[in-house]
Structure formats: structure tokens, C-alpha cells
Structure 1
Amino acid sequence: MITRTSVYSKIYKRVWIGAMIVFCWVFSYSMQMPTLFGVWGKFDFDPNLGSCTITKDTNGHSSKAFLFIVGFVIPCLVIICCYTVIFWVVHK
């Protein structure tokens, strides 16, 4: 929104901000649903860590790689792209 100020007032209204907050909560919980229901890995006690964590299910599947990519790598790439555009516009 820094580089497109005309769009800012259209997107950042009370309703859209509420929708963004709800989306963040729903998205984060929905990423854990396959693990919670045992479809893709499971939550279990890991004696090596001494805490509850995501472990492999009976088929050897775990959702850790998916969660790492969707919950960390993709957001980092989006942030890097956004900051690159901001840097480019500022130094233009």
C-alpha cells in the first residue's frame, strides 16, 4: 500500500480490516487441522524434546515440511518482494 496510495483508502476500511484479522486466525487454525485429526502426522509427546510436537503418523507422514513452507518460506518471500518494491519506488 505504500507504493499504491490510491488503493489504501479502499482496502483499509473497518470491515476489510476485520476480515483480514479473521482470515489470519482461520488460516492458522486450518493449517493445523490435518495434524489435529491425524490425517497428516499427529500431535504427540516427543521424549527428546520433552514437549508435545508434531510427530510422524503410522504411515510415516508428517506435516512439518508443509507447515514450514506455507507458514514460513512463502511469507518470507512475500515480505522480501514487498520490501524490494518499496526500496525500488523510494530510490526511483
Structure 2
Amino acid sequence: MTASATAPLAEVIAARLKEALHPTRLHVSNDSAQHGGHMGDDGSGESHFSVSVESPAFAGLSRLARQRLVNAALADLLATRIHALAIQARAPGE
């Protein structure tokens, strides 16, 4: 699944995480409006996000290892378009 470059960034994030982690649950929230005028706000309305993801890929992994998997799936976006990303990553049953 590939999301278009013109799609809202939250949709692109969701598509990337679905492809990389095959989540059982996923919620992506655009929190940019709460950070308007703050450092990192580029005026696009798409700079600050929260992700809550549940995936079997996280089973047995530390919190840091889980965040690294999420960051790896979004690496180019974190380098260019995402200023801040809050991550809640769980394995099924947690």
C-alpha cells in the first residue's frame, strides 16, 4: 500500500506503519494545531503527530526497540516533514 505525496501526512504515516508493522490496532493523530506558533511549526498544519500502534512485531521487544521500528518505517518523513512524533507501541495483549 502506497500513499500519495498529496495525501494528508497522517494517512501517509498510517500507510507506512501498516506496511512495515502489520498492526492489529493503529491510530494516528495530527496534533499540529496544539503546537501552532511553537518551535517546529512550519505552518503546514502537519508537523506534530501521535501514534498508538499495537503489533505482533513488538512482542518481546523493549520500549526503545519498538520506537526504533516505528522510526525506521518513517525515517525519511522524520528527516523532512515530521517535527515531533509521540509513540505508544504495544504488543497484542498488553
Q: Which has the higher strand share?
A: 2
Question: Would the TM-score normalized by the shorter structure come out above 0.5?
Answer: no
Larger RCO, structure (CA 8 Å, separation 6 or more): 2
Q: TM-score, length-normalised on structure 1?
A: 0.27
Q: Which has the higher helix share?
A: 1
